[in-house]
Amino acid sequence: MLEKEDFEIRPERPEDKAAIWEINRLAFGGEAEPNLVDKIRNSTGYIPQLSLVAVRQGRVVGHILFSLIEIRLDARTDPPMPALALAPMAVHPDFQSQGIGSALVRKGLEICRDLGHVAVVVIGHPDYYPRFGFTSARSKGLEALFPVPDEAFLAIELMPGSLHGVKGSVVYPPAFEEAI
Ligand SMILES: CC(C)(COP(=O)(O)OP(=O)(O)OC[C@H]1O[C@@H](n2cnc3c(N)ncnc32)[C@H](O)[C@@H]1OP(=O)(O)O)[C@@H](O)C(=O)NCCC(=O)NCCS
């Protein structure tokens, strides 16, 4: 397990793009996720401070991306509620299970909160995300517009009670179309 001081977490820089693409390709074993990163980066939902890399000895070894989505409320008279999607995240296979992914999630959530965002949704491993405070999105009143198993559809409130009483559907923007 690496210590906090063994790597740095910072926003991506233009020169990190190729490494980010390759880490996502290697971690996921395909081009869908690296292409998703590129599409989100070129979309209106992209928030530069929320594309973070983990750097070890000058080398980018991990990446996490949070971008804007909407919760379309069932009470259609109310405007959609802005939230964030965590997707994708990847750690280079040579550096997995050393704490880098956890550090990216924790730091990422901290920045999301500091920027004033209220909630993050993730569709991901049910054994991984609950340790950071993610719980069932459906139990918080959220629905997806496509089939997703309960245990993989997760959300976290960044401010206590921010999803209290919310009933609505998570709407992913077009950048996600081929990925979900
Ligand atoms: C998932 C991932 C980002 C975690 O990063 P990491 O640096 O390896 O994670 P950490 O070292 O902080 O945490 C390790 C934990 O993650 C778990 N983990 C790693 N890969 C996992 C996977 N594919 N599914 C479920 N859990 C996974 C490990 O079992 C370990 O759990 P433990 O602490 O209970 O033993 C990384 O393993 C990865 O890139 N995987 C492939 C891509 C991927 O699945 N991305 C997430 C999509 S939701």
Does this model's pTM top 0.85? My answer is: yes
Tokens representing 23?
């880490």
180, 123 Cβ separation under 8 angstroms: yes
Closest atom of ligand 1 relative to the 102 alpha carbon: 12
C-alpha span between 107 and 124 (Å, rounded): 18
C-alpha span between 12 and 65 (Å, rounded): 10
Q: What's the CA angle centered on 98, arms 38 and 2, to 5 degrees? A: 110
Find the distance separating the first CA and the last CA of the chain, reported in whole Å. 32
If one residue of 7, 63, 86, 91 were mutated to test the ligand 1 pocket, choosing by the most ligand atoms within 8 A of its CB, it would be 91
- Which residues, in sequence order, are bridge partners of residue 177? none
Residue whose Cα lies nearest atom 24 of ligand 1: it is: 125
What is the pLDDT tens value at each position of the chain, 180 positions in all?
888 889 999 999 999 999 999 999 999 999 999 999 999 999 999 999 999 999 999 999 999 999 999 999 998 788 999 999 999 999 999 999 999 999 999 999 999 999 999 999 999 999 999 999 999 999 999 999 999 999 999 999 999 999 999 999 999 999 998 776
Q: Which structural domains are found in the chain, ordered by start?
A: 4-176 (3.40.630.30)
Residue whose Cα lies nearest atom 30 of ligand 1: it is: 97
C-alpha span between 59 and 70 (Å, rounded): 34
Could you tell me how far CA 140 lies from the centroid of its own chain? 18
Query: Residue 29: exposed, middle, or buried by beta-carbon count in 10 A (0-12, 13-18, 19+)?
Result: exposed
CB of 108 closer than 6 A to ligand 1? no
